[in-house]
Amino acid sequence: MTEQIANLRDVAHADERLRPDVLWRSAQPLAGDGAPREVTTWPPATVVDLRSAAEIPAGPHPLPGANVHNVVLLDHAGDPNANAQRRRPLVEVYLSMLEPGTGLVRAVGLVASEPGPVLVHCAAGKDRTGLVVALVLRLLDVPREAVLADFALTTDAMPEVVRRLLASSPLPEGADLSTLPKEYFTAPVEALEAILDVWDAHEGGTSGWALSHGAAPDLADRLRARLLV
């Protein structure tokens, strides 16, 4: 059976006002993946790849023809404490992506401006992808409950995500997934709630946070024109 990209969904499911086939989210695609069942058209015109250079295999991106933009949100390359960093509570990992926050804003800017459909992915399509999608949705005033519900869907996809990650990049000798916190294998809404709290508490709300972290003044307007029916 042909492999298919894991944890793929059209973000439009999160709110009935959203236009389908504009923004998709997923785990990393792999060479040889077939057209997925979850969307009506394939491939994407634009890919926003949130992985660090160390995570990206040599060679072309496995979605030929797509315009690929690499936006690094987490990069532990050269960090002597990298292993410890990867075991931090997820809420700490998420909060670290808010400062400087320019990567999140740049990724959302690509969603607003690049040809669609736009696929946003990292390795699992959970943490980095989850924050980018959450920022898009909150800039569109999608209710918190709907943002959290979309995020939580990744938990069911994690067994397949982990299987594909290990098949494509086996663990180094002596490495043990059992040493990682259990929340690394789920999509804990509590961690994302902490991020939504930061955005909501900022002067001007989520739009104010984005503006203070380098967003163009018309970013939310461009997202609305692009994504709202």
DSSP string, 198-215: HHHHSTTHHHHHHHHTT-
Tokens representing residue 202 in the block: 């900022």
pLDDT digits (tens, 9 = 90+) for 6-25: 999 999 999 999 999 999 99
Q: Looking at residues 197-209, what average pLDDT do you find?
A: 98
pLDDT score at 151:
98
DSSP lists the bridge partners of residue 48 as 69, 120
Which string of b and e fits 191-212 if b means at least 16 CB within 10 Å?
A: bbbebbeebeebeeebbebbbe
At residue 76, does pLDDT exceed 80? no
pTM: 0.94
Asked if the peptide bond before residue 117 counts as cis, ω within 30 degrees of 0, the response is: yes
Q: Which tops the pLDDT comparison, 174 or 72?
A: 72
23 sits in which H/E element:
strand 23-26
pLDDT digits (tens, 9 = 90+) for 189-198: 999 999 999 9
Q: Which residues contact 147 (CB under 8 A, 6 or more apart)?
A: 14, 134, 137, 138, 192, 196
φ/ψ of residue 24, rounded to 5: -120, 155
At residue 209, does pLDDT exceed 60? yes
- Looking at 129-133, 139-143, 174-178, 212-216, which range is the least confident one? 174-178
CATH 3.90.190.10, applies to 9-78+89-212: yes
- Looking at 77-86, 186-195, 217-226, which range is the least confident one? 77-86
User: pLDDT-based confidence at 174, cuts 50/70/90?
Assistant: low
- Pairwise CA distance, residues 167 & 199, whole Å: 37
- Pairwise CA distance, residues 145 & 159, whole Å: 25
